[in-house]
Amino acid sequence: MDGNGRRDIWNSIPDALATAANLLRKNGWQAGKTWGYEVTLPPGKLPAGSKTLAQWQALGVVRANGKPFRNLSDKATLKVPDGRGGPAFLMIRNFSVIKAYNNADKYALAVGLLADEIAGGTGLVQDWQRPFTKLSFEQRQELQKRLSEHGYYDGKFDGKIGEGSKAAIMAYQAKVGLSQDGYPSLEVLKWLRKQ
C-alpha cells in the first residue's frame, strides 16, 4: 500500500492498515455500516437474543445520543458489559467481524469506540461505572504537577496515568490516610489542592 512493491506490516503503517482493512473485508465487513450503537434501556427486563433494530426500538431501546437508528432491518444483539448502571450497546454484524480478529467483546468494543472517536464522535453518553470520579486530561496533568510539587512524582506532566503516576498517587494516599488504590481521582486531586 505504501507503493514500494513489498508487503511489510511491521515497518509500514500504510501496509499494516491495508492488511487490517483487507482482513475485515474478507471476514464480511459491511461497508457503510457501524459496528453498533450505544443505547438507553427502558425499565424492566428485556428479552435476550438477536432482533432487528426496529424490534429493539419497539421494546423501548433507543440510541443514547437521541439520533435515530440507521437500517432498522439490521439484526442486533444487546450487550451490557458493565451492568445496567453502565453503558449499553446494540451490536450489529460488524461487531462480530471485529471479533473474528480477537474474540473478546472488550477488545471489539474498544476498537469500535476508538473508531467512532477518530471519525469525530463525542464518546460515550453513559460512562463506565468507576470506583472514583474521573479526571479530565487537564486535571490529570494538574494531578501529576501537584504530586511532583509534593515530591512524589518525577515524570512528565502529560496527563497519561502510568505506573509512575499510580505509584505516586498511592504514596500520597498513604501519607494523608486515604485508601491506597492508585486511582487518578478527583478526590485525590482535591486533597492535593488543599495542601
Angular region, 134: left φ>0, alpha ψ -120 to 50, beta rest: beta
**pLDDT tens-place values along the chain, 195 residues long:** 888 888 888 989 988 889 888 888 999 999 999 999 999 999 989 988 999 999 999 999 999 999 999 999 999 999 999 888 889 999 999 999 999 988 999 999 999 999 999 999 888 998 888 888 889 999 999 999 999 999 999 999 999 999 999 999 999 999 999 999 999 999 999 999 998
The CATH number of residue 63's host domain is 1.10.530.10
Domain boundary pick from 85, 118, 151: 118
Per the domain annotation, does 64 fall within a domain?
Answer: yes
What are the residues facing 90 on neighbouring strands? 37, 78
What element of type H or E holds 79? strand 75-79
Range of the domain at 186: 137-194
Across 158-189, b (16+ Cβ under 10 Å) vs e yields ebebeebbeebbbbbbeeeeeeeebbbbeebb
Rounded to the nearest 5 percent, the helix, strand and coil shares of the chain are 40, 10, 50
Per the domain annotation, does 5 fall within a domain?
Answer: no
